[in-house]
A and B are shown apart, each in its own frame.
Chain A
Amino acid sequence: MPSSKKTAEGIVALFNASDDTIDMIQALLTQAGGAQSLVWCHFADLKKGIVDFKKYLNKHNPEVVIFDISPPYDENWQFFKTMRDADVMRGRGSVLTTTNKNRLDEVLGTDSQALEVVGKSKDLQEIQTAIAAETQKANAARLTFA
């Protein structure tokens, strides 16, 4: 049964390895009007257990979570799937990014549906669009189950 717990409006959580990419996503949200703010942590800190995924989401309660899959792709993909499928993700949107979609898909043997981050206007626009779409979905789910 979907969770009826309300997500915090305007919060996006980002799990990434790169401080540069974190800065780019932060700038994207600011350019989009600043209605959403970013909380972030390094993907490796989740894997090592330095940050507890469930506690982190419960604390910040984001509408949308952006996961980035970096090398080693197979290991990080498996870890991503455990987070994506966790109960604490119910009612939240998610966006998947990577710096090399071809290699990621090749290693996984499947279409990851990830957006490729290069750092140009075109790919950043795609990420912004995906965040907006996932926010709408999360809001619709919240209204449905409120």
Chain B
Amino acid sequence: MPHPTHAPPKPGVALINASDDTVEMVQRMLSASGIDCLTGCHFADLKKGNVDFGQFIAKYDPQVVIFDISPPYAENWQFFKTLRDAKTMEGRGLVLTTTNKDRLDEIVGEDSTAIEIVGKPYDLQQITAAITAALRTVATAAGRPM
């Protein structure tokens, strides 16, 4: 009896951002790179409890989650850390973005490792490269080809 064949899952990401403009820019860029943007939601909706993070991740099952940290940086950084450290993030990659890395790092008192979004080809390429690297890391850890 032939074994059923399973195609490897198409790489998929979820976007958690505050700006619809940024979501659209990143979606376009991902689409051009052959990466599915499975879903997006507003960071503020997670903070307010309008969207449950655990249910959101379980529903879409993204391999990589892109978080954007916008003002107020101190408060959003603390909230981001609770999301990043949640059990539901285990086995998933993450990419962090912001519109002002200097201010974010200054306020949180550490190197956030965030990629700064300006909306120019250079920074959008950096984000694509970071997402591709995160997808590769996740795929390798799961022992499946990308």
Give chain A's interface residues, CB within 8 Å of chain B: 17-21, 23-24, 42-45, 47, 70-76, 99-100, 102-103, 107, 116-120
Contact = CB atoms under 8 A, between A and B. Distances in A.
Interface residues of B, number: 29
Contacts of B24: 44
Given A18-B18, A100-B100, A118-B73, 10 more contacts: A19-B42, A47-B21, A70-B22, A71-B99, A71-B117, A72-B25, A72-B118, A72-B120, A118-B100, A119-B76
A72 B103 contact: no
B20 interface: yes
A20 B44 contact: yes
A15 to B, nearest CB: 12
Interface in B72-90: 72-76
Contact of A17 (B18, B45, B75): B18
Interface of B: 18-22, 24-25, 42-45, 47, 70-76, 99-100, 102-103, 107, 116-120
28 contacts: A17-B18, A18-B18, A18-B70, A18-B71, A19-B42, A20-B43, A20-B70, A20-B76, A21-B70, A23-B44, A24-B71, A42-B20, A44-B20, A70-B21, A71-B19, A71-B25, A71-B119, A72-B25, A72-B120, A73-B118, A73-B119, A75-B119, A100-B103, A100-B118, A103-B116, A118-B72, A118-B100, A120-B107
Contact of B44 (A18, A43, A103, A119): A18
Given A103-B118, A107-B118, A44 B70 contact: no
A116 to B, nearest CB: 8
Contacts of B44: 18-20, 23
Contacts of A75: 119
Interface majority SS (helix, strand, loop, mixed), chain B: helix
Contacts of B75: 119
Contacts of B21: 17, 43-44, 47, 70-72, 76
A24 B119 contact: no
Contact of A99 (B20, B71, B74, B107): B71
A24 B20 contact: no
B51 to A, nearest CB: 12
B20 to A, nearest CB: 4
A96 B41 CA distance: 26
B71 A72 contact: no
A38 to B, nearest CB: 16
Given A44-B19, A44-B20, A100-B99, A71 B71 contact: no
A17 B72 contact: no
B25 A99 contact: no
Nearest to A70: B19
B19 A120 contact: no
